[in-house]
Structure 1
């Protein structure tokens, strides 16, 4: 058996260690740079040992920002967190209700409605970004949290996944709920939503990271620094021309930007894996 071959076991561990090193080394360099002064970062070669500016650098970017971005990183982190949460929760809520309607209600052109939703998979925000921007501009939603999140809270993928899950729920369950006097929304909230919790958890992790990493749409719809998410803030901190980039502060901001999505993945790892591999879904 391959799993009992000592040579294969050693090779497996070597590959895993190499993979971890490739992923972890850039993160370690970023962290080390965030604890040093600008002169230490620009030194050749840069030391790979942490410096003594950890608290000072992080306090500076959280309170005042750096480079071309005058907005505090704490404000940008808050913008990103709000944006990611609204996008994730909005996509899940709309997708649950859409899938519920497609499975448990009869209405004209139901199949056409489903395929129209499914076809939008071929029309991501990047394809329809100019008309979407024009709509947001006409509605006066530039530089607003509504403008940042509203165009991104519908998800054909999540609707399709919930639809497929609802199709596996026995019809007898809906009939029993109807006999007991439960209305459609009571059946939805008290039976379907609890049954979907592992799927919801898995999708929440994916959609939170998706919302946190948004760059192109916030770049177009925001003009005030106070509305920037942290991803745009990092790009603004990198100076152009003759201005010197404060790389130690940029790296500190990058480390702070990693923390929320990493925390979500770590805290919800069990539910995330269960939602992807659970045989009962």
Structure 2
């Protein structure tokens, strides 16, 4: 039984509020900085109250970009990041759910070996295999392309493991009933497994979308054509302007714009996301 202690409730709420303030303060500083002119930062002090240049800064970054830093307009880079994140999230889920289905419901030689071979790749992040991956992508002519941005990141051992655990919780009686009714493997997968996994798919989609959106090293490495730049990788280009002082108001405007799409995805899918994380019974 959980005891109702008013002082403990107040303490927990105080801790939560303090945590929110700590997390939200840098976002607030970035938002305020994006509303000021570049001269406001000449003293080295970041203002903490809104300025009057918000529309000018955001319209400049979305419309023409910052040519002195090698950054094209953010509208195109946001579109590239959106395509990259959607393809990675969708591809990871499609590959993972089908591979988990094969591992759990099909009996074939070396089935467990296949699963553990997939699981072991968790120990090899992109940064570890970056050189051979780049060599393969370059040899296939996929530099400066959407395929090069997405295909090397599209497999996911984590998602395969999570879907495997979900499928193992589905009662065997349901599988037997489907078999008695004449449902083949793909019909069972399409009409039973996928509907039962909707909340888990939604939760994974949010996580994988943010993973794809926040990619920095890989897009920075394989893109030299400005038409394929992603917004997160280009923030560094904005902050390292050649032969000039970084325009921090425009950098912070780019940061806020880069943050909006994943925030909208999390807010829009919040109910399914939470349900998919806490749901334990089918």
- Identify the TM-score tier after normalising by the shorter chain: over 0.9
- Counterpart of 1:30? 30
- The unaligned stretches of length 5 or more in structure 1 are none
- Counterpart of 1:180? 181
- The unaligned stretches of length 5 or more in structure 2 are none
Provide Cα deviations, 1:20-66, integer angstroms capped at 9, x if missing partner: 21111111111111111111233454432211111111111011112
Compare 50-59 and 37-46 and name the one that shifted more. 37-46
Matched, 1:113 2:106: no
Provide Cα deviations, 1:114-155, integer angstroms capped at 9, x if missing partner: 111111111111111111111000000000000000011111
5 Å-filtered alignment, 1:66-145, equals: 66=66, 67-145=68-146
5 Å-filtered alignment, 1:1-281, equals: 4-43=4-43, 45-66=45-66, 67-240=68-241, 242-281=243-282
Partners of 2:2 and 2:8 in 1: CA distance: 7
Partners of 1:61 and 1:200 in 2: CA distance: 34
Runs of 4+ in structure 1 displaced over 4 angstroms? none
Contact 1:95 1:158 in 2 (8 A): yes
Q: CA deviation at 1:239?
A: 2.7
The Cα RMSD (Å) is 1.7
TM-score (normalizing by structure 2)? 0.94
| Number of aligned positions between the proteins | 281
Partners of 1:228 and 1:3 in 2: CA distance: 54
Partners of 2:38 and 2:221 in 1: CA distance: 31
Q: CA deviation at 1:242?
A: 4.0
Contact 2:69 2:241 in 1 (8 A): no
Contact 2:71 2:234 in 1 (8 A): no
Q: CA deviation at 1:16?
A: 2.1
Contact 1:3 1:9 in 2 (8 A): no
